[in-house]
Amino acid sequence: EVQLVESGGGFVQPGGSLRLSCAVSEFTFTDYWMAWVRQAPGKGLEWVANINQGGIEQHYVGSVEGRFTISRDNAKNLLYLQMNSLRVEDTAVYYCARGSVVWDSWGQGTLVTVSS
């Protein structure tokens, strides 16, 4: 069974940084684009970023461009989201998902809380 497990969430003050990780298993990681999707408390889903199989091509939602970086370690089957200059409005559950346009498998999510 395909598995995606996020970690790295937590509490951080505005302006701080966090790095999220997503460990994947039971599928060939290098065959797939990967993505991060977030959901603020009580709100809808928002696509954050995605990355191609080789890690060369990345795309971001406008509100995180220049602050967040998506990357991957194909040798370790890990997806990352480096989040810098965090804002209160970045508070959300962050999900990693498999795919570029169709996200067919999701992790359970990790909560990021940005607050002073």
Partner 1 sequence: QAVLTQPPSASGTPGQTVIISCFGSSSNIGSNTVNWYQQFPGRAPKLLIYADHLRASGVPDRFSGSKSATSASLAITGLQSEDEAAYYCAAWDDNLKGLFGGGTKLTVL
Phi, psi of 105 (to 5 degrees): -140, 140
3-state secondary structure of 30: helix
Please state, in angstroms and rounded to a whole number, the distance separating the CA atoms of residues 36 and 51.
Answer: 9
Does residue 104 belong to the site contacting partner 1 (CB under 8 A)?
yes
Return the amino acid letter for 26. E
Residue from 1, 31, 62, 75 that binds partner 1 (CB under 8 A)?
Answer: 62
Q: How far is the CB of 110 from partner 1 (least distance, A)?
A: 11
Q: How far is the CB of 28 from partner 1 (least distance, A)?
A: 17
Residue from 95, 110, 112, 114 that binds partner 1 (CB under 8 A)?
Answer: 95
Residue from 32, 68, 94, 103 that binds partner 1 (CB under 8 A)?
Answer: 103
What one-character DSSP code corresponds to residue 101? S
Check: CB of residue 23 under 8 Å from CB of residue 86. no
3-state secondary structure of 63: helix
Does residue 56 belong to the site contacting partner 1 (CB under 8 A)?
no
Positions touching partner 1 (CB under 8 A) are 35, 37, 44-47, 50, 59, 61-62, 95, 101-104, 106-109
